Structure 1
Amino acid sequence: MIEHLGLGREKIDVRCIIEIENTWESLHAHVELDGVDVGPGDEVHVQGGEIVVPYGERVTLERMATVTKAAAPERLWVRMTGDFEFMELLEFSFSSGRAS
């Protein structure tokens, strides 16, 4: 909604390190940006093609990323509404613990 206001959003190209692991112990992907702090409302787009990591392997890559910094009103909006959006990710289940 607020992103359509056309506020002057700064775009920064930075190097990043991507670590992806697809093993029995862990399934994760981490991106470490070089010298840029990401705040509420900021967007990060890692450039390049799709990364496929076969089961049982771990890959570390270096790529470029574009960080789009949020304008002040956008950052405020994300801070005010972020908790509500986070709640959509949660799933709650209540049961007696007894097998039926």
Structure 2
Amino acid sequence: MSPFGKRSSFEVPCTVDIEQTADSFHAHVILDGDIEIRPGDEVTVHDAPTDIAFGERVVVRRMATVVRAGLIDRLRARLQGYLELTELYEVSFSNGRV
């Protein structure tokens, strides 16, 4: 594989916070340390809880694998993100009459 497509990976501990209540519906993963996740990178949390009942909040410690994107993957992710964002800019100034 060329240096432009080379991917590296490492494991890191993390905190998984999942809540499904009337006030909040979220799932957050907080990696330990000062790890920056960049476009194209992948994070896989091992043995994360996937099913909690309504009204519950679960906070657990798990391990995560971070796979760093190579140069080509990073550029592709940035381009895809830009193109998907521009879809939100579609604006019509017609009055709807044909």
Identify the TM-score tier after normalising by the shorter chain: 0.7 to 0.9
For 1:19, the equivalent position in structure 2 comes to 17
What displacement does 1:67 show? 0.5
User: What root-mean-square deviation, in Å, do the aligned CA atoms of Structure 1 and Structure 2 show?
Assistant: 2.2
Name the residue aligned to 1:74: 73
Shift of 1:8: 1.8
* Sequence identity percentage: 44
- How far is the alpha carbon of 1:73 from its aligned partner? 1.8
Superimposed CA distance per residue, residues 67-98 of structure 1 (whole angstroms, 9 cap, x where no aligned partner): 0000112111211221223567x7xxxxxxxx
Q: What's the TM-score once normalised by structure 1's chain length?
A: 0.74
- Any gaps of 5 or more consecutive residues in structure 1? 1-5, 91-100
Match of residue 51 from structure 2: 52
Which of structure 1's runs of 4+ aligned residues deviate more than 2 A? 83-88
